[in-house]
Amino acid sequence: MIDFQLGGRVAVVTGGASGIGLACAQALAHSGATVSVWDLDAGRVESVRAALGERHHGAVVDVADPGAVQAAMQAVSADLGRLDVAVLNAGVAGVPAPTGDYPDENWRHVMGVNLDGVFHTMRSAVQAMRAHRSGGSIVAIASVLGQVGSPNSGAYVAAKHGVVGLTRAAAWEHAADGIRVNAVGPGYIDTPLLAARIDDAQRAEIEQRHAPGRLGRPEEVAAVTTFLASDAASFVTGAYYPVDGGFLAR
């Protein structure tokens, strides 16, 4: 792993108990940060926290619930003393359906987690960083589908486009607070969530949408995320960084 020197920093990672979020939590911890892992699965949260080490923190948080997010962020500030980095990764895929037939309940669920959840956590992170007057870095995990469309994924595409727009607005709004806000756009990444949704034939087809002819790895997304969290990216804000194996270049 590349070490971006985050010693003394405190980071929150939502959806941090598996997939990209887990890789981000591990990379941030490896670079010296104390990490608060947020997820819905209490057992996984505790397992990851224990694996990271005693100084780290965990919380069961539904990011779609603004009250739960605020309470968890206050606990981070109280228990760890500050907040320097927030990685907004928690997300759901949603059911595949064309827009004309998309169920209301599923639309609200996807938007509630993937866009509202990013807003709730970003807002609480900004407030925590301002309270400690130390600035910070917020990294929203968007998607290549935050730049292009995809059939039968209207809710997901809309939410991820919204994440990119929110990132750009917040970057300007909070630059004076010393807070940088950026987004990362993963291509198709080899995670348990994706594996559960595709068969071997679909995987082979998806692999060929990427120039290297393979899926991305969670740690490849985590490396860019950790760079953006660090002072190495001190002049980077309002940016969207694809980590997509050339998916958007075609």
Catalytic residues: 156
Of the candidates 128, 129, 246, the one whose C-alpha atom is nearest the C-alpha of residue 185 is 246
Three-class DSSP category at 137: strand
Of the candidates 22, 118, 19, the one whose C-alpha atom is nearest the C-alpha of residue 64 is 118
> Could you tell me the CA-to-CA distances from 226 to 156, 189, 209, 211 in Å, in that order?
25, 17, 26, 24
Q: Is the dihedral of CA 157, 162, 163, 165 positive or negative?
A: positive
Three-class DSSP category at 180: strand
191 phi and psi angles, rounded to 5 deg: -125, 160
Residue 119 burial (CB count, 10 A): 18
Reading the block at residue 167, the tokens are 């990132």
186 phi and psi angles, rounded to 5 deg: -65, 145
